[in-house]
Amino acid sequence: EAGERYAACGKIILLGEHAVVYGRPAIALPIPLAVEAMVRREGQGINIVIPRWGLEQPVHANTQGLSGILAKILKDLDLDRENMTIEVFPHIPRAMGLGGSSALAVAILRALDAQFDLGMDNSRINELAYECEKAAHGTPSGVDNTVATYGTPLRYQQVDGKPIFRDLRLTEPLQLVVGITGRESLTADTVAQVRNAWTQHPDRYNSIFDQIGSLTEAAEQALEQGKLGDLGDLMNLCHGYLNALQLSTPELEELIHIARANGALGAKLTGGGGGGSMIALCPDNPDAVAQAMQAAGYETLSVTVG
């Protein structure tokens, strides 16, 4: 029978990436309809199909990557002996720091929930998506799966290992342009790189995380009071610290330069860094900024949040 598609959000980290892994707050914004998924009860065994990535493979325990992670989830849900095809439709590029892996997990969980009447609420879906994130990249803060599940702008923090988050109220929709470097980056690698530096010099790096944390607190106020000029400054400062953590690349720097030169109020890398994507705050001129990035050979994504 024709299945129905279930959607999940991607995310943009406005401020606070990496520091959020060390208990500081982060602000994350949803990218609506980032991934859709559909489950059909058909065929032999369990297969996953992602037409856009040319991927079609059986879901097996003891395999690496997506298929192995899915196998574990299906076992936990007691669905591992069913016959089904899981079809996934990603609408954002992968490994670009936009939360694609969490969105994929949440969309699949929603489609499974509907097809098998599992009665999962958002909190259960969020919990399972977090397990997928852990399997995919070690020590995630949990911000990606939370935004993918709830789909609202959030302040997110881990306190004593537990996620604490609340909705942020925007005074007006926020216009962002995402500049995509095209250079895939594994969050697991950049998180490990930062952890390595922190392990060797905890005091030095804790003070950088504190600085990022206080910029994030200030940004929360700027956002809720509609002070976009302030917010842009805070984004620029935050990028300076991310640069200090050696998370930037020549492509990210070029995109940031283009954004600022074309009138963006602020610009910074977003997510894991080391490639991936950057964001520019452009309330008045998103098209001009996007076109300048495209003219330099980059793909862009224009996002209105709220």
Catalytic (active-site) positions: 144
Q: Work out how close the CB of 257 gets to ligand PMV at its nearest, in angstroms, rounded to a whole number.
A: 22
Q: Work out how close the CB of 296 gets to ligand PMV at its nearest, in angstroms, rounded to a whole number.
A: 23
Task: Restricting to residues 64-103, name those near ligand PMV by CB under 6 A.
Answer: 97, 99
3-state DSSP of 7-49: EEEEEEEEECCCHHHHCCCEEEEEEEEEEEEEEECCCCCEEEE
Interface with ligand PMV, residue 27, by CB under 6 A:
no
Stretch that binds ligand PMV, among 37-45, 118-126, 222-230, 270-278 (CB under 6 A): 270-278
CB 83 within 8 A of CB 42: yes
Q: How many residues bind ligand PMV (CB under 6 A)?
A: 16
Residues forming beta bridges with residue 50, ordered by sequence position:
55
Burial of 219 (0-12, 13-18, 19+ CB in 10 A): buried
Among 191, 245, 258, 293, binds ligand PMV (CB under 6 A): 191
Among 7, 14, 17, 303, binds ligand PMV (CB under 6 A): 17
CB 6 within 8 A of CB 129: no
Residues 248, 254, 259, 260, Cα dihedral to 10°: 80
Stretch that binds ligand PMV, among 60-68, 137-145, 162-170, 225-233 (CB under 6 A): 137-145
Interface with ligand PMV, residue 272, by CB under 6 A:
yes
Interface with ligand PMV, residue 187, by CB under 6 A:
yes
Number of residues in the chain: 306
Interface with ligand PMV, residue 145, by CB under 6 A:
no
Interface with ligand PMV, residue 275, by CB under 6 A:
no
Interface with ligand PMV, residue 153, by CB under 6 A:
no
Among 30, 90, 140, 275, binds ligand PMV (CB under 6 A): 140
Q: Is 91 helix (H, G, I), strand (E, B) or coil?
A: coil
Q: Work out how close the CB of 62 gets to ligand PMV at its nearest, in angstroms, rounded to a whole number.
A: 25
191/208 with CB nearer ligand PMV: 191
93/99 with CB nearer ligand PMV: 99
Q: Is 212 helix (H, G, I), strand (E, B) or coil?
A: helix
Q: Work out how close the CB of 189 gets to ligand PMV at its nearest, in angstroms, rounded to a whole number.
A: 10
Provide CB contacts within 8 A for 156, sequence distance 6+. Answer: 16, 20, 25, 26, 27, 28, 141, 142, 143, 146, 147, 163, 164, 165
Interface with ligand PMV, residue 50, by CB under 6 A:
no
Provide CB contacts within 8 A for 76, sequence distance 6+. Answer: 128, 131
Among 36, 113, 144, 220, binds ligand PMV (CB under 6 A): 144
Interface with ligand PMV, residue 29, by CB under 6 A:
no
Among 3, 6, 18, 48, binds ligand PMV (CB under 6 A): 18
Q: Where are the beta strands (DSSP E) in 79-159?
A: 84-90, 154-159
Q: Work out how close the CB of 13 gets to ligand PMV at its nearest, in angstroms, rounded to a whole number.
A: 6
Residues forming beta bridges with residue 12, ordered by sequence position:
29
Q: Is 60 helix (H, G, I), strand (E, B) or coil?
A: coil
Phi and psi, residue 19, nearest 5°: -60, -30
Q: Which residues bind ligand PMV (CB under 6 A)?
A: 13, 17-18, 20-21, 97, 99, 140-141, 143-144, 187, 191, 271-272, 276
